[in-house]
Structure 1
Amino acid sequence: MAKPPLSMKPTGWYQVAWSDEVAVGHVHTMKYFGEEMIAWRAESGRVTVMNAYCEHLGAHLGFGGKVIGEVLQCPFHGWQWNQEGRNVCIPYEKRPNRGRRITTYPVTECNQSIYIWHDTDGREPFFDAPDVFASFADGSSLDDYYPQQRLYVPGRELHPQYVLENGVDFAHFKYVHDTPIVPVFTRHDFDQPVSYVDFTITFEGDENQSIDDVDSGVEAINGGLGIAVTKSSGMIDNRTISAITPVDESTSDVRFMVYIGRPTTERARQNAERAERKAQEFGAEVIRQFQQDVHIWSHQRYSDPPALASSEMQGFTAIREWALRFYPDGKGGSAARLAAANLDS
């Protein structure tokens, strides 16, 4: 498959692990943005993500590295590195090597996930990772939902922007997910690094119904190109998180999470076992539908400029212009070329 003409090192927050994969004292290995990395959790509970190799003689800290309190000890010669990547102890010397530092990444934990801030220019984070509960400011919390259901698809040949563009692609719902009618978008807000997309949608009924009679929909919050969270209304209460993280110059890891709301009626609560089983089934269906998208993204070629229909122009132009801000060179697909193309074939 042709490599997309998009940088695989966009700026933003990206998931590198789930929180429960990095217990206190554990060292977790991974590779993202072409770098071997580790995540380790100190005794205080703080997670550090850094490049994997000791600056002394290059030992990989993920293979035998030991967490001691708030520092990580190299398995080769016992050099200790703190949460800022600085050497704080050489056990056979009187002082540490203050001139060497392992690259570390800003870290945040939410959505039961560990995210790092990636920026090739070394800038500090300029927006927050969206939280699937707090960002909607509706008073909801983890306690209101059944345990998270997850999908992990490693090493697919796709770009994070494919997934974000899916959020404005109203036409695909009918043909990929078998919705009876095409949804209608009611909000596109791409003014800030965190963007908002709302749409009316239904998965029930038939194609003869009117969209004006549909009272269900989805609100989506996109935190850069790496994280999108959604909240449903007017249907089974569910929240989702999609997280796409570049591994190297051609592949990304895909993570998708679903929360299903706990029952609110007394009758449903009395039959807790049945309610939980139905929640598991519905969560599995949400994941299945996301897998349908992953299958297409994994074999997609980035089209620039795309041959859009006139009704698609506004959404795709807006999201591609918005996406430009996350690329180091400001080139993520030309909105100017998109606008100039003959889109009404």
Structure 2
Amino acid sequence: MTTTGYKIETRPLEARYARGWHCLGLADDYRDGKPHTLNIFGKRLAAFADSTGAIRIVDSYCPHMGADLSTGTVQGDNLVCPFHGWQWGGDGGCKSIPYCKRVPPKARIGSWETSEQNRLLFIWHDPEGRPAPPEVAIPRIDACYEPDWSDWAMDKMLIGTNCRELVDNISDMAHFGTVHGAPVDYFANLFEHHKATQLMIGRSARLSGDSRLTAHSTYFGPAYHITEMTGKMGDQEIHSILLNCHVPIDLNSFELRYGVLVKKIPGLSDEQNRAVAQAYVEQARAAFYEDVVIWDSKIRIDNPLLCEGDGPIYQMRDWYQQFYTDVEQVRPASVARRVFELNPAGMEPPALRHVFEV
């Protein structure tokens, strides 16, 4: 006899990419005097630094004869086509043609809004073509500019699935114990406007030894996720900041960048601090890559079968849908302030009104 199980629903993906800021890694990596190819949002773009050091991003295919501008050269403030030498500015306008005095009035390519913060480069994407509103600006992390913190240690990888898969983690309490061997004592979420915050208090032999691990994480928009974490290595308390950001290549793959900052320990030499930071970075990476293995092989489920201790997965997805919806169609209830708590250890809850002021 054959029995039927729960019917998994997977609707066809909408051919749309999220509205918001997307991180493209360390800004200084683009200041090498060369154009850089970006295969993102189902397009090919070209990034380059102009004479002031500002990083500009434009559509990469030259409308003259179709050459890839990201394979050209940078001259002053312009990106030079490798085929016929047409020069394109960061604003998308054609600035000169070497064999023609008159530039055709229609000689323009698409240009993209960019931002730099926390030593990182961001690109704005909006299917409706709206500029980035000031209230969604990337917040400054002072540690990125302070001498008592390490520099970003950064990795980049390709994940072969839709980028929505990884965002479930912000509300998925149950996976910490199974995937990371880090049982959770207390877990809370706040969803409000363009931010989703998680507070996780638990234990991790790798990241906190016998002590408590505290992780305070926030998605600022659809694709930029920062975690402030306090753990231990041996007898030494370790403060770290984790970066988890993604940018879609197409509907079935995305680039994921993972970075770590570690606060230097007073009394240790620079060399000793580097060794401690590197060891903690490697432990944090190992934990993060356990998620990557899951993302790389799982399927997408639109109607996940949940139980009491799973966390507010459906509420999180309702919040996240705002980034795939025209601005005028976003439901007020989807972006209203909502707080959820799970307390499996029955511990004294923290004062969330202080924790969730982000």
State the TM-score bracket (shorter-chain normalisation). Answer: 0.7 to 0.9
Structure 2 alignment gaps of length 5 or more: 1-8, 233-237, 335-358
Q: CA shift at 1:303, angstroms? A: 1.5
Runs of 4+ in 1 over 6 A off after TM superposition: none
1:325 to 309, 322, 336: 322
Q: Distance between the aligned counterparts of 2:195 and 2:110, measured in 1?
A: 26
For the residue of structure 2 that corresponds to 1:91, the secondary structure is coil
Q: CA shift at 1:178, angstroms? A: 0.7
- TM-score, with length taken from structure 2: 0.79
1:93-131 Cα offsets, whole Å, 9 max, x none, are: 333223232111111122433221111111111353534
Identity of aligned residues (%): 26
8 Å CA contact 1:131–1:229 kept in 2: the answer is no
Aligned CA RMSD, in angstroms, stands at 2.6
Query: For residues 61-140 of structure 1, what are the structure 2 equivalents within 5 Å?
Result: 61-63=69-71, 65-126=72-133, 127-128=135-136, 130-131=138-139, 133-134=141-142
Instruction: From the superposition, tell whether residues 215 and 291 of structure 1 become closer, same or farther in structure 2 (CA, over 3 Å).
Output: closer
8 Å CA contact 1:173–1:183 kept in 2: the answer is no
Q: Does 1:59 align with 2:67?
A: yes
Query: For residues 251-266 of structure 1, what are the structure 2 equivalents within 5 Å?
Result: 251-264=253-266, 266=267
Q: CA shift at 1:27, angstroms? A: 0.5
Q: CA shift at 1:142, angstroms? A: 4.2
Q: Distance between the aligned counterparts of 1:312 and 1:46, measured in 2?
A: 44
Q: CA shift at 1:144, angstroms? A: 2.6
Q: CA shift at 1:288, angstroms? A: 1.0
Instruction: From the superposition, tell whether residues 94 and 318 of structure 1 become closer, same or farther in structure 2 (CA, over 3 Å).
Output: same
Please name the residue that 1:190 is paired with: 191
Please name the residue that 1:177 is paired with: 180
Q: Distance between the aligned counterparts of 1:323 and 1:117, measured in 2?
A: 17
1:119-161 Cα offsets, whole Å, 9 max, x none, are: 1111111353534715xxxx7744231122122112x222322
8 Å CA contact 1:85–1:102 kept in 2: the answer is yes
8 Å CA contact 1:200–1:216 kept in 2: the answer is yes
Q: Distance between the aligned counterparts of 2:229 and 2:105, measured in 1?
A: 51
Please name the residue that 1:227 is paired with: 224
Please name the residue that 1:203 is paired with: 204
For the residue of structure 2 that corresponds to 1:286, the secondary structure is helix
Structure 1 alignment gaps of length 5 or more: 336-345
8 Å CA contact 1:130–1:221 kept in 2: the answer is no
Q: Distance between the aligned counterparts of 2:303 and 2:75, measured in 1?
A: 53
Q: Distance between the aligned counterparts of 2:255 and 2:212, measured in 1?
A: 35
How many positions carry a matched residue from both structures? 311
Query: For residues 30-49 of structure 1, what are the structure 2 equivalents within 5 Å?
Result: 30-49=38-57
Q: Distance between the aligned counterparts of 1:232 and 1:4, measured in 2?
A: 36
Q: CA shift at 1:249, angstroms? A: 2.2
